[in-house]
Structure 1
């Protein structure tokens, strides 16, 4: 079986972002294959540890992906502060005889270094055009865990687990290998918190993650972190503001200082993303949303909302509001040009990670979260049929059916973008509804 089908059948998706099916990404041709090892979200510690634990598999996965897209060069982007990991990866690249094809480049410790378009520019000096993807400038980007999963797919192993950092204001910060479908409550229960009712949980990183209203969900293939903070923490209060409240605050208080624009990562790459103009439209009750199409250029990194704005307003939320309105009317941003230059001031406006952590009130929690071996023994697991961009998987099992660990339980619909899903434990199918499959874990009979 060729690589594309191995990756497709294993259900490999982008492990560090929106979950784009990897087999679809690898059907293209590119000049560069880039490994995103930046992990720029504060407190998360997955990628750096995976590269230290599984260097050869990640290198082999990246190489296989690169050969598939016919890339002439593979580049790993790792923050320069991770000197041990950089040294190890360079040593293993040499030992595997890949120095002519693959190299490690050091990234600055900035936010958001892991944004695909920022990463492409930092590693190749190319700028992805507005409303485009890295392939437009000859690049395909995968992250460290995705490369690891590609290597495992070659060995015939489907994606049934993910790696998650549990961090924040907790006694035990750790990174765990977690079977897909385990409850979030069971994962965060490992961190030593006596009274979880005192805490709020951010699903993902502190910048782009959202506060869970109820901690009753389940781990998916793209889960990367859970950050626990006291409910009165600044970050929880800021992220808990409703979209309507953010709209009212922005409409009455924005002073048009344009700091949100001047520090916007996409604006600094030369794009026309100008959050202060979207805030202005809100203030003046401009109802013609087609004139606010620049909101669709927002990558929702939250730098404007959580770092830049001196008045503590919500420009990212307002961008999201206009993006929703534009989508409802079927309006899509149309770029006027395809060639871009980084703005001259870019190097002086990058956001240092340490300053960001301090601004978020997380300095005391910016500690190691070492890989910790935990054996999960859930009574039930719930496998989502849509853990990825595209159509939900179609169940191929029935209620009452016995399944094995690693067994296919959901396939890609015909002629659709998607990814299959597999059971992470053996057990019995107990329920199929709400785009998910509930499995009672137990011995296979």
Structure 2
């Protein structure tokens, strides 16, 4: 098999976001391949530690992917503050003799440096078109953990484990490797908290991650971390606001100061996203469909709601409200521009991570979450058939079948976008439905 087939068979997907199948991304031809090592969400620690612990594997996987897409340059984007990791990467790039192709480029310590389109601009100076993707400007982007999984895939090892940071108002922040399908509550308890009655959990980073309705559920290939906070914490109360109540508050309080727009990361790279106009449309029941379409350019980074708005309102929710309305009518934004220029004021409106954490009330929890060897052996795993963009995997095992660690248990449907799934433990299949496959450990 060639590398593309190996990546496909290994079930590699984007490990840092929506979970787009990596083999589909690597079919493109591009001028640049970019490694997203920014990890700009506060408190999360996975990527920086993987680059420190497995630099050779990540560099080799990244280089192989870059050669596959025909890139002329492979750029590793990492925040300049991670000096130790940068030093390790540069030393290993030279030792592996790939310095003519792979290069480390430092990013500012801002949010959201890890937004795919912001990353493309920071590393190449190019602006991805509105409602577009990086390949439109000759770039393919992969995450650090994805590059590690590409390397493993090239060695015949499928994706069966996930690296997770557990952080927040907890006695023991840490980063661990766990089998896919592990009960989430088992992972949360590694924080040394046993009873979560007084806590809420954010699935992902504190900016973009949703507050979980319960601690039920199972680890997927897309999980990155969990932030555990007391239920009365500002951030939990803010993120728990439902869209209808947020809409009522917006209508009664917005002063049209337009700070939500002026600080918007996508607006600052030249896109026509203007959340203050969505707030205006809510207030006055404006029916300008063309104007509302710009809400579809929102990347939901949440900077407007959690940092920019001086009144603490909900501009992102206004964007989501109009996004939903337009989706109901099957109306899509179409850009009328072909070239985009970043705002001349952009450099003065970047949000430092330290200021963001202070605003979120997370300063006291900004602690190391060291990679920790923890023996976590779930008796039962539930492996979702859809933990990626595209069609769910088609089950290829039945109840009663014995499976080995790494065995294929779900294939990509014919002529569909999707990803394979594999057994994360050895054991017996005890359930096999449309949504998940449950395996009981031997």
TM over 0.5: yes
Shift of 1:400: 1.3
The aligned residue for residue 202 of structure 1 is 202
Deviation per residue, 1:316-351 (Å, 9 max, x gap)? 112112112211211110001021111010000000
Structure-2 separation of matches of 1:109 and 1:146: 22
Q: 1:418 aligned to 2:418?
A: yes
Structure-1 separation of matches of 2:80 and 2:116: 18
The aligned residue for residue 119 of structure 2 is 119
Q: 5+ residue gaps in structure 2? A: none
Look up the SS of the partner of 2:148 in the other structure.
helix
The aligned residue for residue 269 of structure 1 is 269
The aligned residue for residue 173 of structure 2 is 173
Shift of 1:73: 0.3
Structure-2 separation of matches of 1:156 and 1:290: 50
Structure-2 separation of matches of 1:136 and 1:63: 21
Contact 1:406 1:422 in 2 (8 A): yes
Structure-2 separation of matches of 1:377 and 1:64: 33
Shift of 1:390: 0.4
Q: 1:392 aligned to 2:392?
A: yes
Shift of 1:290: 4.7
Structure-2 separation of matches of 1:37 and 1:395: 33
Look up the SS of the partner of 1:196 in the other structure.
coil
- Trace 1:305-316 onto structure 2 (pairs within 5 A): 305-316=305-316
Contact 1:61 1:150 in 2 (8 A): yes
Structure-1 separation of matches of 2:223 and 2:365: 20
The aligned residue for residue 248 of structure 1 is 248
The aligned residue for residue 63 of structure 1 is 63
Contact 1:165 1:226 in 2 (8 A): yes
Structure-2 separation of matches of 1:191 and 1:228: 9
Structure-2 separation of matches of 1:121 and 1:396: 42
Look up the SS of the partner of 1:105 in the other structure.
strand
The aligned residue for residue 345 of structure 1 is 345
Contact 1:78 1:104 in 2 (8 A): yes
Look up the SS of the partner of 1:164 in the other structure.
strand
Structure-1 separation of matches of 2:334 and 2:30: 24
Shift of 1:247: 1.0
Shift of 1:288: 5.2
Contact 1:130 1:338 in 2 (8 A): no
The aligned residue for residue 193 of structure 1 is 193
The aligned residue for residue 299 of structure 1 is 299
The aligned residue for residue 324 of structure 1 is 324
Structure-2 separation of matches of 1:377 and 1:271: 47
Look up the SS of the partner of 2:197 in the other structure.
helix
Aligned residues: 442
The aligned residue for residue 40 of structure 1 is 40
The 1:11–1:194 alpha-carbon spacing in structure 2 relative to 1, beyond 3 Å, is closer
Structure-1 separation of matches of 2:162 and 2:207: 21
Structure-2 separation of matches of 1:118 and 1:152: 28
The aligned residue for residue 17 of structure 1 is 17
Structure-1 separation of matches of 2:400 and 2:254: 57
The aligned residue for residue 285 of structure 1 is 285
Query: Could you tell me the TM-score, scaled by structure 2's length?
Result: 0.99
Structure-1 separation of matches of 2:378 and 2:341: 52
The 1:117–1:156 alpha-carbon spacing in structure 2 relative to 1, beyond 3 Å, is same
Shift of 1:286: 2.4
CA RMSD in angstroms comes to 0.8
The aligned residue for residue 230 of structure 2 is 230
Shift of 1:432: 2.1
Structure-2 separation of matches of 1:342 and 1:296: 19
Structure-1 separation of matches of 2:414 and 2:331: 28
Structure-2 separation of matches of 1:391 and 1:309: 38
Look up the SS of the partner of 1:371 in the other structure.
coil
Query: Could you tell me the TM-score, scaled by structure 1's length?
Result: 0.98
Look up the SS of the partner of 1:390 in the other structure.
coil
Contact 1:289 1:322 in 2 (8 A): no
Deviation per residue, 1:272-291 (Å, 9 max, x gap)? 00000011111111245453
Structure-2 separation of matches of 1:345 and 1:293: 25
Structure-1 separation of matches of 2:427 and 2:194: 31
Shift of 1:429: 1.1
- Trace 1:122-137 onto structure 2 (pairs within 5 A): 122-137=122-137
Q: 1:431 aligned to 2:420?
A: no
Q: 5+ residue gaps in structure 1? A: none
Structure-1 separation of matches of 2:338 and 2:353: 30
